[in-house]
Structure 1
Amino acid sequence: MKKSSLVRRGGLLAAVVASVVLAGAAPASAAPGDGSAYGVKVDVKLLGQDAVKAGPFAAANTAGPTSSSLAKVDLTGILKAGAINAEAKRDDNSGAVTAKASTADVTLPLLKAALGNVGIKLVEAVCTATQKGVEGSTKLVGADLGSVGAVDAAPAANTQIKVGLGTLNVATIILNEQVKNPDGSLTVNAVHVKLLGEGLNALGSGDVVVSSATCGPAAPPMPLASGAGLWIGLGLLGAIAVPVGTRVLRRRSAQA
């Protein structure tokens, strides 16, 4: 048998070995970490009015679109906002996920009866997932909650402010709400207004969320099919496939 034919057969066997090596080194789950973000979401029923469901506005996702923006939102009697920017991105080499949403010039007319004029110049939620874990934060610029007054620019996680109207608690404002989800991801809602009911003197029921980001857990780092992982895989392939091809060639030569 010709030597060129033997070399081709040795190469074919090396290719088979390569497929086994690559398959064995692939992570158990090829899906990378997920992330998402949006600017505003409303689901409320104000006293004596029809239910309003709107949003999420300017939604972004690691699966695409990874960024989104909107010039303004105007929901009469509920919320007004200026520019919204959201993004959700992952680094396929490190597995890290970052999600962020920012909403400018927010006013909340739905709270005017209880608190007066409520306004925030900028509302930002950030969530980051790395191999070390998942963490989130909120930034508020120029926040004035009417009769409640100014609040911290970086409120502690799950800061709650009770909103009263007369003798009733009609709403709760949660700043830097951080929710740990069953799948291991974290949701950060920079501002979450919860209306508590539809009874006498109540404002209504439902939820308003301003700037939300969800991420994690991070994906396995350095996939074999790209970056440094590819070179490691090729090194392993060379160490195994070349000796195999050489042994095949020597056996065939001995039989010729």
Structure 2
Amino acid sequence: MKSSLVRRGGLLAAVVAGVVLAGAAPASAAPGDGSAYGVKVDVSLLGQPAVKAGPLAAASTSGPTTNSTAQVSLTGILTTGVINTEAKRDDNTGTVTAKASTADVGLPLLKAALGTVGVKAVEAVCTATQAGVTGSTTLVGANLGSIGAVDSNPAPNTQIKVAIGPVNVATIILNEQIKNPDGSLTVNALHVKLLGGVVGSLGSGDVIVSSATCGPAAPPMPLASGPGLWIGLGLLGLIAVPVGTRIFRHRRTA
């Protein structure tokens, strides 16, 4: 009889403890993810082999959380200096931040259409909090050849057409912001899209410089606290005391 009561009391206590902990669990079991990279290239230029590279200097919240590359040189397409990336999560708040910064960017890919194109620094940043996901782009010393200087903090999805004569051969997208189906946000600071299939085109494909993706944020996994904790402890006491009393009475009877 004694062992049966002890087992019953232990089982009920375990159930109540499980209820307390379950009540403390957030709706989402894992915080959000984030990632970043410096350069990604996938282009097919007319009369030349396809070129694919990257994502280079990739970082993510699952590791490595930081990364870097000294320089990138893709003949006739892209040159860069140092690339630094990071993607981190604060488990206390669920906040996710991701950032990619690329220095000394050159785009010989566009020389035939615009002349010399260069940017001293290209940075993409995104942040996911409980309030939502936001992103931004910063360009330092940006000069797009014949197009001239551009805003250092361009509006989301700013598009610039690149033409040779009357023919549009490419589109430059600054501060490209893409809302993904999973609720995350991707920020591509600089995205060159080659428009293949048109007369006089340079080729087809994409060049992306400085990309960050994050979110949505998720709450941390706290220990039970607040009213839920006290209610659970109260229930545990209501169960434990009668069981202990019955065991004590049984011992006195024996």
Q: Same fold (TM over 0.5)?
A: yes
For 1:107, the equivalent position in structure 2 comes to 106
How does 1:44-59 map onto structure 2 within 5 Å?
Answer: 44-59=43-58
C-alpha distance in structure 1 between counterparts of 2:205 and 2:173, whole Å: 14
Q: Give me the whole-angstrom Cα distance separating, in 2, the residues matched to 1:222 and 1:106.
A: 38
Cα distance per residue 1:90-115 (max 9 Å; x no partner): 11121111111100010001001100
SS of equivalent residue, structure 2 residue 245: helix
Q: CA deviation at 1:242?
A: 2.7
Partner of 1:253: 248
Partner of 2:161: 162
Q: 2:132 aligned with 1:137, yes or no?
A: no
Quick check: 1:27 aligned with 2:26?
yes
- SS at structure 1 position matched to 2:195: strand
The answer to whether structure 1 residue 212 and structure 2 residue 211 are counterparts is yes
Query: Does the aligned pair in 2 maintain the 1:39–1:84 contact within 8 Å?
Result: yes
CA distance in 1, matches of 2:57, 2:136: 20
Cα offset, 1:19, TM superposition: 2.2
Shift of 1:230: 4.3
Q: Which residue of 2 aligns with 1:86?
A: 85
Letter in 2 for 1:247: P
Q: Do the aligned partners of residues 236 and 87 (structure 1) sit closer, same or farther apart at CA in structure 2, a change above 3 Å counting?
A: farther
TM-score by length of 1: 0.89
Per-residue deviation at 1:40? 0.4
Gaps of 5+ in 1: none
User: Is 1:238 aligned to 2:233, yes or no?
Assistant: yes
Whether the 8 Å CA contact 2:193–2:206 is kept in 1: the answer is yes
Structure 2 residues not aligned, in runs of 5+: none
Mapping 1:145-184, distance limit 5 Å: 145-184=144-183
8 A Cα contact 1:33 1:217, kept in partner: yes
State the secondary structure of the residue aligned to 1:213. strand
Indicate if the aligned counterparts of 1:162 and 1:173 stay in contact, CA closer than 8 A.
Answer: yes
What's the TM-score, normalizing by structure 2?
Answer: 0.90
Return the offset for 1:15: 3.4
Match of 1:150, SS?
Answer: coil
Shift of 1:10: 4.6
Aligned identity (percent) is 73
Correspondence for 1:185: 184
Paired with 1:96 and 1:210, the residues of 2 have a C-alpha distance of: 24
- Partners of 2:215 and 2:43 in 1: CA distance: 29
Aligned to 1:223: 221
2:56 and 2:72 map into 1 onto residues whose CA distance is 8
The range that moved more, 49-58 or 59-68, is: 59-68
Q: How many residues align structurally?
A: 250
Distance 1:48 1:198 in 2: 14
Please give the alpha-carbon distance, in whole angstroms, between the structure 1 residues aligned to 2:83 and 2:126.
17
Residue 31 of structure 2 aligns with an amino acid whose one-letter code is P
Q: Distance in 1 between matches of 2:231 and 2:143?
A: 61
Q: What is the root-mean-square deviation of aligned Cα atoms in Å?
A: 2.2
